Amino acid sequence: MSEKGKGKKEQPQPTEKVAQKPTGKPTEKPAGKPTEKPAEKPTEKPEEKPEEKPVEKPKEKKPAKVKKKEKPAYTRYKVDATGLTRLLPYCERCGSGYFMADHGNRFACGHCGFTRYKRA
State how many domains the chain has. 1
Is 115 among the domain residues? yes
Name the phi and psi angles at 97, rounded to 5.
Answer: 105, -15
Q: Which domain holds residue 91?
A: 72-120
Is 56 among the domain residues? no
Is 45 among the domain residues? no
- Give every CB contact of residue 114 below 8 A, 6+ residues apart in sequence: 91, 92, 93, 94, 100, 108
Is 92 among the domain residues? yes
For 25-64, the pLDDT digits (tens) are 666 665 665 566 666 666 766 666 667 777 777 778 888 8
User: Could you tell me the pTM of the whole model?
Assistant: 0.41
For 88-116, the pLDDT digits (tens) are 999 999 998 899 999 999 999 999 999 99
